[in-house]
């Protein structure tokens, strides 16, 4: 089977990182390399965790640039030489067949540039966790799906702009050459930037725009530790709102020719966001607080401005 490496960005979560690394070293298709990018370097805990697991398998520690998740992923990408590279989060535990299923999905169709997988909750013991699971829709279903801009284009009027329907950043993999050709991840997007998210969505969108296929593989499963903290839930909901419209702003700025296409989709987008019958809102759990709905929409309003500011900051940093 094709060789694959894994990149894990981490930021002051050594206990969660231990569980993540343990699961990655127990894969039925062992990763050629696991790169841990420490985006809060300077402490003792994360290097110690990585050093311990490096005695058990091919685990490498590198310091991140402290510029957010996308920049950390790009730093990890530079360490990888295998044809395939998978990305997951430090608060994730991967099923033992996760990487095997990802590799198989790349071989399931011609010119696959990206594979995403199923994300299920590690636990649902607090109301905040239940609300996040219902809101975020991490689980994209039980059927393998192939997406492209030609024969495998779905009937969804928001495709390919609604890239969140294709997968999430905690469970994604790329053909290394395709990801490098598109410049990696946009460092002006993602957690740790003013844009707060959207780096994964932008990467999915770019894969399709460049003529590759994206495969959603439901058998590539990871379990995500949703935060128990209600304050974290509020940050997540607001951040997803900001990240969504930040990513869409990038789409139009980078490809002005798409402005007309995006504008024609505005009625469908408005229905998706505001209609209580839309797939997005229908999945919200009973008793979902209206304050969280307002918070997400506030984030959506802020997203374009946040992306422009983040893009300028990134340009100055480089």
Residues contacting residue 157 through CB under 8 Å, at least 6 positions apart = 265, 268
pLDDT value at residue 318? 66
- Average pLDDT of the segment spanning 250-275: 95
In a domain, residue 16? The reply is no
In a domain, residue 266? The reply is no
pLDDT digits (tens, 9 = 90+) for 132-160: 999 999 999 999 999 999 999 999 999 99
In a domain, residue 196? The reply is yes
Provide the residue count of the chain. Answer: 318
In a domain, residue 298? The reply is no
Structural domain containing residue 187 = 92-237
Q: What is the band of 41 on the pLDDT scale with cuts at 50, 70, 90?
A: confident
Helix 230-254 vs helix 199-209: crossing angle, to nearest 10: 30
Give 224's strand partners: 92, 121
Q: Which of 97, 11, 24 is nearest to 56 (CA)?
A: 24
Q: Is 297 in contact with 269 (CB distance < 8 Å)?
A: no
Q: Is 86 helix (H, G, I), strand (E, B) or coil?
A: strand
In a domain, residue 160? The reply is yes
Q: Is 124 in contact with 137 (CB distance < 8 Å)?
A: no
Q: Is 171 helix (H, G, I), strand (E, B) or coil?
A: strand
Query: What distance in Å separates the CA atoms of residue 77 and residue 75, rounded to the nearest whole number?
Result: 5
Q: Which of 283, 184, 280 is nearest to 241 (CA)?
A: 280
In a domain, residue 135? The reply is yes
Whole-prediction pTM value?
0.97
**Dihedral sign from CA coordinates of 103, 105, 108, 111:** negative
Take residue 68 and report the two structure tokens written for it: 């957010």
In a domain, residue 152? The reply is yes
- Per the structure, the count of domains in the chain is 1
């Amino acid at each position: 089977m094709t060789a694959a490496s894994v990149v894990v960005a981490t930021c002051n979560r050594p206990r969660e990182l231990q569980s993540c690394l343990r699961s990655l070293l127990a894969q039925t298709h062992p990763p050629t390399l696991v790169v841990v990018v420490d985006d809060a370097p300077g402490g003792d805990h994360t290097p110690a965790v990585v050093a311990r697991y490096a005695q058990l398998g091919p685990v490498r520690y590198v310091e991140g640039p402290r510029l957010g998740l996308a920049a950390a992923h790009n730093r990890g990408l530079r360490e990888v030489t295998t044809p395939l590279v998978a990305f997951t989060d430090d608060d994730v535990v991967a099923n033992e067949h996760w990487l095997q299923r990802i590799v198989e999905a790349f071989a399931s169709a011609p010119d696959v540039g990206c594979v995403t997988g199923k994300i299920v909750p590690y636990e649902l013991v607090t109301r905040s966790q239940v609300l996040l699971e219902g809101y975020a829709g991490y689980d994209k279903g039980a059927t393998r799906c192939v997406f492209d801009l030609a024969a495998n284009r779905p009937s969804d009027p928001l495709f390919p702009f609604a890239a969140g329907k294709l997968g999430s950043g905690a469970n994604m993999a790329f053909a290394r050459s395709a990801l490098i050709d598109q410049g990696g991840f946009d460092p002006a997007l993602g957690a740790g930037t003013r844009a707060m998210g959207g780096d994964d969505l932008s990467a999915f969108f770019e894969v399709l725009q460049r003529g590759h296929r994206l495969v959603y593989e439901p058998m590539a499963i990871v379990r995500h530790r949703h935060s128990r903290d209600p304050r974290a839930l509020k940050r997540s909901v607001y951040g997803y709102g900001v990240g969504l419209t930040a990513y869409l702003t990038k789409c139009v700025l980078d490809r002005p020719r798409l402005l007309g296409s995006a504008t024609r989709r505005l009625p469908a987008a408005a229905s998706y966001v505001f209609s209580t019958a839309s797939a997005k809102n229908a999945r919200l759990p009973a008793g979902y607080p209206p304050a969280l709905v307002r918070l997400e929409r506030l984030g959506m309003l802020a997203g374009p401005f946040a992306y422009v500011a983040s893009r300028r900051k990134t340009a100055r940093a480089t």
